[in-house]
Amino acid sequence: MNEVMLTRKMAVIADDDKETLRNLVSTLEDDGFEVALALDTNHAIQLIKKVNPVLVISEIGKHNYDGLYLFESFKKEVRLANHLKMVILTNNADEKYEILSFESGIDDFLIKPLRKNAFRKRITRYFKEEKAPQKSPKKQYQIRDLFFNITNKSIHKIPNQEVIPIQAKTFDILLFLALNHDHIFSREALINAIWPVNSKVTARSIDVHILKIRQLLGEGYIKTIKGVGYIFLKSEE
């Protein structure tokens, strides 16, 4: 399996303050992020579901940019990867918004103007405890009733010892999702994780492999998160 895992970091910004946007984009791009700018809160919700970011930054208490509504909306609509961080960056110093933000589960509440050096330190803190997606263990792995033999890329269900016929790349995708069962992965992310750089693999190829997995194992292992990607289910729903 290719050792190049999820190197792309996406951030979504929901704000229309030009100076703030200029400073945020500059700081985030310097730290290796790709940045998507939202025209308003509804557009931000669409972007979150489309690009599966690790960081969302929003204004609060404005008609067209409401970080609380944004957070509540995507929290209800889609199960995002556990590593996503939500940050409020605002001109509004009213304490009630700060309290509401933290009560809702938002990770940080910052007052403008943006202090770039301090913000850069916060970015480091946001993600320093995040674990990179796991690579294959040396020999075997078990989750639910699936037993993976990594050495010969075979799989069987327990207690049945009969080997399930599976292609190598389909096995790699299934194993990767199983190892990282608490994360949602887009099709592009799976391509980056499984294939070498610059491989001419399409998103449709991932869909075909997922279909094969479902045909071999049944429907209860890989869930499609509409508009985002795929996740391995650690237990039956």
Q: Domains for the chain: give ranges and CATH numbers.
A: 9-127 (3.40.50.2300), 140-232 (1.10.10.10)
Among 10, 75, 6, smallest CA distance to 38 is for 10
Q: The pTM is what? A: 0.52
Cα atoms in the Cβ-side hemisphere of radius 13 Å centred on 147: 8
Among 42, 90, 37, 88, smallest CA distance to 64 is for 42
pLDDT score recorded for residue 6: 39
Rg (CA), the chain: 20
Peptide bond into 196 cis (omega under 30): no
Indicate the SS3 state at residue 109: strand
The enclosing H or E element of 148 equals: strand 146-149
Three-class SS of 164-226: ECCCHHHHHHHHHHHHCCCCCECHHHHHHHHCCCCCCCCHHHHHHHHHHHHHHHCCCCEEEEC
* Alpha-carbon span 147 to 18, nearest angstrom: 53
pLDDT score recorded for residue 78: 43
**Sequential pLDDT tens for the chain (237 residues):** 433 333 458 899 999 889 999 999 999 988 888 899 999 988 988 888 888 888 999 999 777 888 888 887 766 544 444 457 889 999 888 888 888 887 777 878 899 999 988 898 888 877 764 444 555 556 888 888 999 998 888 899 888 888 888 888 899 999 999 988 878 888 888 888 888 766 677 888 889 999 999 999 998 899 998 878 899 998 876
CA angle in degrees (0–180, nearest 5) for 190-38-131: 35
Check: CB of residue 234 under 8 Å from CB of residue 79: no
